[in-house]
Protein backbone atom coordinates (compact mmCIF):
# COMPACT_ATOMS: atom_id res chain seq x y z
CA UNK A 1 0.00 0.00 0.00
CA UNK A 2 2.81 2.41 0.86
CA UNK A 3 4.54 1.79 -2.46
CA UNK A 4 1.33 2.67 -4.31
CA UNK A 5 1.17 6.01 -2.51
CA UNK A 6 4.80 6.71 -3.39
CA UNK A 7 4.23 5.94 -7.05
CA UNK A 8 1.15 8.16 -7.18
CA UNK A 9 3.03 10.94 -5.40
CA UNK A 10 5.76 10.81 -8.03
CA UNK A 11 3.22 10.80 -10.87
CA UNK A 12 1.36 13.79 -9.39
CA UNK A 13 4.62 15.67 -8.72
CA UNK A 14 5.86 15.09 -12.27
CA UNK A 15 2.49 16.20 -13.64
CA UNK A 16 2.68 19.46 -11.69
CA UNK A 17 6.25 20.04 -12.83
CA UNK A 18 5.12 19.59 -16.42
CA UNK A 19 2.50 22.36 -16.09
CA UNK A 20 3.73 25.89 -16.71
CA UNK A 21 6.35 24.72 -19.14
CA UNK A 22 5.03 26.97 -21.92
CA UNK A 23 5.63 30.06 -19.81
CA UNK A 24 9.18 29.07 -19.04
CA UNK A 25 9.88 27.93 -22.58
CA UNK A 26 8.48 31.14 -24.06
CA UNK A 27 10.72 33.22 -21.80
CA UNK A 28 13.86 31.28 -22.67
CA UNK A 29 13.24 31.19 -26.44
CA UNK A 30 12.08 34.79 -26.97
CA UNK A 31 14.68 37.35 -28.06
CA UNK A 32 14.81 40.60 -26.06
CA UNK A 33 13.35 42.76 -28.83
CA UNK A 34 10.23 40.55 -29.16
CA UNK A 35 9.46 40.31 -25.43
CA UNK A 36 5.74 40.51 -24.58
CA UNK A 37 3.47 40.19 -21.57
CA UNK A 38 1.82 36.76 -21.08
CA UNK A 39 4.09 34.89 -23.51
CA UNK A 40 3.18 31.47 -22.07
CA UNK A 41 -0.49 31.89 -22.86
CA UNK A 42 0.33 33.19 -26.33
CA UNK A 43 2.54 30.16 -26.99
CA UNK A 44 -0.14 27.73 -25.73
CA UNK A 45 -2.81 29.28 -27.95
CA UNK A 46 -0.53 29.44 -31.00
CA UNK A 47 0.56 25.81 -30.72
CA UNK A 48 -2.97 24.57 -29.98
CA UNK A 49 -4.25 26.45 -33.03
CA UNK A 50 -1.54 24.87 -35.16
CA UNK A 51 -2.56 21.40 -33.95
CA UNK A 52 -6.26 21.96 -34.65
CA UNK A 53 -5.61 23.48 -38.08
CA UNK A 54 -3.99 20.25 -39.28
CA UNK A 55 -0.59 21.80 -40.00
CA UNK A 56 1.24 19.36 -37.73
CA UNK A 57 3.15 16.52 -39.44
CA UNK A 58 2.68 14.23 -36.41
CA UNK A 59 0.09 11.40 -36.25
CA UNK A 60 -3.35 12.30 -34.92
CA UNK A 61 -3.00 10.57 -31.58
CA UNK A 62 0.19 12.51 -30.79
CA UNK A 63 -1.57 15.75 -31.70
CA UNK A 64 -4.39 14.80 -29.33
CA UNK A 65 -2.00 14.15 -26.43
CA UNK A 66 -0.08 17.37 -27.05
CA UNK A 67 -3.31 19.38 -27.37
CA UNK A 68 -4.56 17.94 -24.06
CA UNK A 69 -1.29 18.89 -22.36
CA UNK A 70 -1.39 22.41 -23.81
CA UNK A 71 -5.00 22.93 -22.76
CA UNK A 72 -4.27 21.60 -19.25
CA UNK A 73 -1.22 23.89 -19.09
CA UNK A 74 -3.19 27.02 -20.02
CA UNK A 75 -4.52 27.92 -16.52
CA UNK A 76 -1.13 27.29 -14.92
CA UNK A 77 0.57 29.44 -17.54
CA UNK A 78 -1.99 32.17 -16.88
CA UNK A 79 -1.21 32.16 -13.16
CA UNK A 80 2.56 32.04 -13.71
CA UNK A 81 2.44 34.79 -16.35
CA UNK A 82 0.34 36.99 -14.04
CA UNK A 83 2.82 36.58 -11.18
CA UNK A 84 5.76 37.37 -13.47
CA UNK A 85 4.01 40.24 -15.32
CA UNK A 86 5.85 43.02 -13.39
CA UNK A 87 9.18 41.54 -14.48
CA UNK A 88 7.93 41.30 -18.06
CA UNK A 89 6.90 44.96 -18.02
CA UNK A 90 10.26 45.94 -16.51
CA UNK A 91 12.07 44.00 -19.21
CA UNK A 92 9.96 45.55 -21.99
CA UNK A 93 10.33 49.18 -20.84
CA UNK A 94 13.94 49.05 -19.61
CA UNK A 95 16.57 48.71 -22.32
CA UNK A 96 19.00 45.89 -21.66
CA UNK A 97 22.08 48.11 -22.04
CA UNK A 98 20.76 51.09 -20.04
CA UNK A 99 23.16 50.46 -17.14
CA UNK A 100 26.15 50.22 -19.47
CA UNK A 101 25.20 53.46 -21.28
CA UNK A 102 25.01 55.47 -18.06
CA UNK A 103 28.42 54.19 -16.92
CA UNK A 104 30.07 54.99 -20.24
CA UNK A 105 28.88 58.62 -20.04
CA UNK A 106 30.83 59.25 -16.82
The per-residue pLDDT for range 2-58, each reduced to its tens digit, is 567 777 777 776 666 565 578 888 888 877 777 888 888 888 888 888 888 877 777
d(CA 10, CA 1): 15
Q: What is the pLDDT of residue 22?
A: 83
Instruction: Please count the structural domains in the chain.
Output: 1
Ranking 5-14, 58-67, 72-81, 96-105 by mean pLDDT, the lowest is 96-105
Whether the pTM exceeds 0.75: the reply is no
Does the residue 52 lie in any domain? yes
The domain of 56 spans: 21-96
pLDDT band at 86 (very low <50, low <70, confident <90, very high): very high
Does the residue 10 lie in any domain? no
H helices of 1-106, where? Answer: 2-18, 21-29, 39-52, 60-93, 98-104
Does the residue 103 lie in any domain? no
Amino acid sequence: MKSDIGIWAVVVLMSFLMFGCSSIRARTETPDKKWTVYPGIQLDVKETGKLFSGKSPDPGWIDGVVAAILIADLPFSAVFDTVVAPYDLYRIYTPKNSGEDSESLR
